[in-house]
Amino acid sequence: MTSLPWLNHLIIVPVLLPLVVGALMIPINQARHGLKFALGLSSGVLLWAVAVALLVLADSGHWPGGIGVYLAANWAAPFGIALVADRLSALMLVLTATIALAVLVFSARRWDRVGVGFHSLFQFLLMGLNGAFLTNDLFNLFVFFEVMLAASYGLVLHGYNLRRIQAGMQYIAVNLVASLLFLIGVSLIYAASGTLNIADLGTRVALLGAQDAWLLQIGAVVLALAFLTKGAMWPLGFWLPTTYASASAPVGAMLVLMTKVGVYAVLRVWLAVFGEGAGAAEGFGFTALALGGMATLLFGAIGMLASQDGGRMAGYGAIVSSGTLLAVVGHSGGAVLASGLYYLLGSTLAMAAFMLLIELTERIRPPGAALLAITMEAFAIEDKPEDPVGVGIPGTLAFLGLSFAACALVIAGMPPLSGFVAKFSLFHALLAAAPEGAPATTWMLIGLMILGGLAAIIALMRLGVRIFWAAGAVTPPRLQFSEAVPVGALVLLCVLLTVQAGTVFDYLGRTTAGLLRSGDYAARVLGEPPVLRAPGAEEGGR
């Protein structure tokens, strides 16, 4: 007889909790927004606590190999639904809960009241995100993707205006096509291998005949198109800058996280299926990911330089981040992957803070001031200010300026914050991976990363000058405490990530070591026994 320790039930909590809370909010009248906010915040705090607990359990040796398996229907894998909490999924759960808490607090005084259903949709979005990080089955990954996307459709249109509706329709159409590709890819993979369990699929790849292996690879390519559309790989990410620029600030911050789900799915599936032990299929698609990531990085850098609007600039910044991560996944070395995950943490936190910050900085100047500043710059019109009289900088402007500068440094990869640490470690890992001389693609990736950082710092400095120092009266905006705290907290987390870089890298090293041992991962998931009832339990329950 085997019994299930109660701590193992924590694995399913990140899926069930937002589902239950979101359903409870639906019948609550919108006029009682305070109650809805209290429920949402309580759910967010509990999700964060559970995510941290799962991270500690995965890293403390509580589960064999640092992998916790939850058989949702008590059917052994690969026949039942298996949820898996390892170091990577727990890390993504903590990142999701952290950004979600910041967004919820930021929305408390304005955005949650603009339209109906914000809090319910937000909880269903969290359910989809958490489920995508935990599931070990391709079809259930599709289900959680659809839950996430269905909620995001409503959130992208939240507080709707004409611009937001146009961008939202494009976003919905693109993701519906991606979902269709997802289903086609899953169908082809099942036809070739007879399984959709990711761990089981990894054990069967090397045993497939030539015809089935060919069909599996076609299905994997179609599936990759779906993942990479959501992950904004060039040219599939054309929709992203417009959506970022049009969405409300809190939704834009969550879109930053959603973009990383596509990258996570590629990382999880490709390392488990086409990693070690895949036979002739080992390494399939990794070169294409590396080259596509570099093309995406270049496209995002050019887009940042060409953008004048803060939202579009953030969108192209997210594309640069995705391109870097996809190139790192394509390289797939252990040290390189650990540095890439560190980059993922810092860039996601900084970009989410930047999306929230954009709305706050837009309150500084009147609506026509930005257009006037661009026009004066284009026609070289000089603006000669009066002699300085020693006016002090208001506290609000100081907070916004420092936060803007910190986000810019992390996004561009400039010292001394986590973005620089991530890029420096990536350069070191890429060069160390080829001790006999780095190939041309490695030097190309390093050059593109430097170019991307240069483009980001130029674009963000130009935006900062127009916001804070361009001609015209600068009026300190009125900020709510609930708006300033989330931005400040995310920026401080970027600083903490820098200060504790050694500890974080140690954890990420253990994470990548587990990811690269795909055989151990498969053995752990497929070897989890179902829970057996105690003798007499069935009769006693009759």
Ramachandran quadrant class, 66 (left: phi over 0; alpha: psi -120 to 50; beta: rest): left
DSSP 32: G
* Contact assessment for residue 200 and residue 78, using Cβ atoms and an 8 Å cutoff: yes
- Peptide bond before residue 78 is cis, with ω within 30 degrees of 0: yes
* Contact assessment for residue 112 and residue 366, using Cβ atoms and an 8 Å cutoff: no
**Would you say how long the chain is, in residues?**
542
DSSP 135: B
As a whole number of angstroms, the distance between CA 293 and CA 326 comes to 5
Q: Which amino acid is at 183?
A: L
Q: What is the pTM (predicted TM-score) of this model?
A: 0.89
As a whole number of angstroms, the distance between CA 145 and CA 125 comes to 9
Residue appearing with tokens 């990577």: 88
* Contact assessment for residue 482 and residue 105, using Cβ atoms and an 8 Å cutoff: yes
Distance of CA 391 to the CA centre of its chain: 42
Give the angle 382-387-393 at the CA atoms, nearest 5°.
100
Phi, psi values for residue 83, rounded to 5°: -100, 135
Give the angle 78-80-81 at the CA atoms, nearest 5°.
100
Tens digit of pLDDT per residue, the chain (542 long)? 455 677 788 999 999 999 999 999 888 877 777 888 889 999 999 999 999 999 999 988 888 888 989 888 888 878 888 899 999 999 999 999 999 999 999 988 777 676 678 889 999 999 999 999 999 999 999 999 999 999 988 888 876 677 788 888 888 899 899 999 999 999 999 999 888 989 888 888 888 888 888 999 999 999 999 999 888 888 888 888 888 888 888 888 999 998 899 899 998 998 888 877 777 788 888 889 989 999 999 999 999 998 888 888 888 998 999 999 999 888 866 678 899 999 999 999 999 999 999 888 877 765 554 444 444 444 444 444 443 333 334 677 888 888 999 999 999 988 888 999 999 999 988 888 775 656 788 889 899 999 999 999 999 998 888 887 764 556 677 777 888 889 999 999 999 999 999 999 999 999 998 888 888 888 888 887 887 655 554 444 43
Residues in contact with 231: Cβ distance below 8 Å, sequence separation at least 6, in sequence order = 237, 259, 260, 261, 262, 263, 265, 266, 322, 326
pLDDT for 530: 81
